[in-house]
């Protein structure tokens, strides 16, 4: 079979095209040739994090890859048979672990048996969802589709040092995905969160949490807001650091939405906490069931699911638009249409008729 050519320069023109294309190729058994990889980025081509994404999907999918090297702007991916077992991958930098997971998590749904994947790299780094978002928000949304997995954070790794360790276990891959109706959020019920500080004073984590809590309580007086703090005594901190961050999430009648922010040198802890709360409150104000991260992440899953899903996103990001277009090109049988919105930056509702992909097909 001739590889399907995917142009990596369209849409967001970055790593999202690579990750979604690899996952769908591995599952459908369709070879792909990706050209102009990350053409719109200051440093085009495969960087360490992207190399790891390709290697992770290739290893689980028993695939052969041509052109896999640092800086490469073109690869051909020849998928094989999906595997189960234990896998370990090391990005080697502070490259995002969660973006590697974006590529490999959809593939693990259809693995022939129990899977454990360990990834080393950055857990809380700029321009990607922090690992706590995957632990406390994304995992709950995917559970609605019948996909249950455990995320264990063994060590945090912040930019620029990296060195974080995350283990994902899928004890019983479901082999198929259920459709979901996640269009409207429903009434807000409660808020939770986790604020951490690594090799920094305890008050950093506490101030982040307090600032976020105050902002949320001002908007939703009377609702419970429980934000935990994570901090270790000097000499007992297993993480590398230094660094800090916070993820807050809201439980609603129909969903869970999250907001996040990470610390940086010279950035007050109060600003970090407020940023996370502001993102969450902004997305909640739209009334949609999915925050700005989940709005793009769930699209490939819905396209593979057994039935019709309705996804309501707080904001149509360029990542979400790109994911829609990639799915249309690789899996045209999955019908998708906007029933509301469709403009970049605006709330939207997307109807997705999944193809009911099953393990072994």
Backbone region of residue 222 per phi and psi (left: phi > 0; alpha: psi in -120 to 50; beta: other values): left
Rg of the Cα atoms in the chain: 20
pLDDT confidence of residue 361: 57
316-357 pLDDT per residue, tens? 999 999 999 999 999 999 999 999 999 999 999 999 999 999
269-286 pLDDT per residue, tens? 999 999 999 999 999 999
Domains of the chain: 4-176 (3.65.10.20), 185-284 (3.30.360.20)
Question: Across the beta sheet with 4-7, what order do the strands follow?
Answer: 4-7, 32-35, 75-78, 64-66
The better pLDDT of the pair 237, 83 is held by 83
**pLDDT-derived band at 301, boundaries 50, 70, 90:** very high
Give the span between the Cα atoms of 94 and 327, in whole angstroms.
Answer: 29
Tokens read off for 133: 């978002």
Tokens read off for 22: 């690899």
pLDDT confidence of residue 240: 76
How confident is the model over 122-151, as a mean pLDDT?
Answer: 97
pLDDT confidence of residue 43: 85
Catalytic residue among 158, 293, 319, 357: 319
How confident is the model over 19-35, as a mean pLDDT?
Answer: 97
203-221 pLDDT per residue, tens? 999 999 999 999 999 999 9
Q: Catalytic: 319?
A: yes
Would the pLDDT of 230 be above 80?
A: yes
Mean pLDDT of the chain: 95
1-16 pLDDT per residue, tens? 899 999 988 888 788 9
pLDDT confidence of residue 224: 98
3-state secondary structure string across the chain:
CCCEEEECCCCCCCHHHHHHHHHHHHHHCCCEEEECCCCCCCCCCCCHHHHHHHHHHHHHHCCEEECCCCCCCCEEEECCCCCCEEEEEECCCCCEHHHHHHHHHHHHCCCCCCEEEEEEEECECCCCCCHHHHHHHHHHHHHCCCCCCEEEEEECCECCCCCEEEEEEECCCCCCCCCCEECECCCEEEEEEEEEEECCCHHHHHHHHHHHHHHHHHHCCCCCEEEEEECCCCCCCCCCCCEEEEEEEEEECCCEEEEEEECCCCCCHHHHHHHHHHHHHHHHCCCECECCCHHHHHHHHHHHCCCEEEEEECCCCHHHHHHHHHHHHHCCCCEEEEEECCCCCCCEEEEEECCCCCCCC
pLDDT confidence of residue 349: 98
* Least confident among 227-236, 296-305, 332-341, 348-357: 227-236
Neighbours of 113 (CB within 10 A): 12
Would the pLDDT of 39 be above 90?
A: no
Q: Which residue ranges make up the annotated binding site?
A: 102
Tokens read off for 153: 């954070």
Q: Which residue ranges make up the annotated binding site for ATP?
A: 102
pLDDT confidence of residue 99: 95
* Least confident among 63-67, 91-95, 288-292, 347-351: 91-95
Backbone region of residue 321 per phi and psi (left: phi > 0; alpha: psi in -120 to 50; beta: other values): alpha
pLDDT confidence of residue 145: 98
């Amino acid at each position: 079979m001739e590889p399907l050519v995917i142009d990596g320069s369209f849409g967001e023109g970055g790593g999202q095209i690579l990750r979604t294309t690899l996952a769908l190729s591995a599952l459908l058994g369709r070879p792909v040739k990706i050209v102009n990889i990350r053409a719109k980025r200051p440093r085009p081509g495969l960087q360490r994090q992207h190399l790891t994404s390709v290697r992770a999907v290739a290893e689980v999918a028993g695939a052969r890859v041509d052109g896999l090297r640092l800086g490469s702007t073109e690869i051909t991916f020849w998928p094989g048979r999906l595997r189960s077992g234990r896998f370990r991958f090391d990005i080697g930098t502070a490259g995002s672990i969660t973006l590697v997971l974006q590529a490999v998590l959809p593939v693990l749904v259809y693995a022939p048996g129990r899977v454990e994947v360990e990834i080393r790299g950055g857990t809380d780094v700029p321009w990607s969802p922090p690992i706590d978002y995957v632990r406390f928000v994304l995992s709950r949304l995917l559970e609605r589709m019948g996909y249950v997995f455990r995320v264990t954070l063994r060590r945090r790794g912040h930019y620029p040092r990296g060195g974080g360790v995350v283990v994902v276990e899928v004890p019983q891959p479901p082999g198929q995905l259920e459709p979901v109706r996640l269009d409207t959020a429903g009434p807000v019920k409660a808020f939770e969160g986790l604020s951490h500080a690594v090799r920094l004073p305890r008050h950093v984590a506490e101030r982040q949490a307090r600032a976020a809590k105050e902002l949320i309580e001002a908007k939703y007086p009377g609702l419970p807001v429980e934000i935990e703090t994570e901090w270790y005594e000097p000499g007992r901190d297993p993480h590398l650091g230094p660094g800090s961050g916070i993820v807050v999430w809201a439980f609603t009648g129909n969903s869970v939405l999250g907001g996040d922010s990470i610390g940086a040198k010279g950035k007050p802890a109060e600003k970090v906490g407020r940023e996370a709360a502001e993102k969450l409150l902004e997305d909640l104000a739209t009334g949609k069931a999915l925050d700005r991260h989940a709005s793009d992440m769930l699209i490939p899953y819905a396209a593979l699911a057994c039935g019709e899903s309705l996804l309501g996103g707080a904001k149509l990001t360029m990542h979400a638009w790109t994911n829609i277009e990639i799915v249309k090109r690789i899996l045209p049988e999955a019908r998708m249409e906007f029933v509301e919105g469709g403009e970049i930056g605006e709330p939207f509702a997307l109807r997705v008729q999944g193809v009911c992909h099953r393990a072994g097909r």
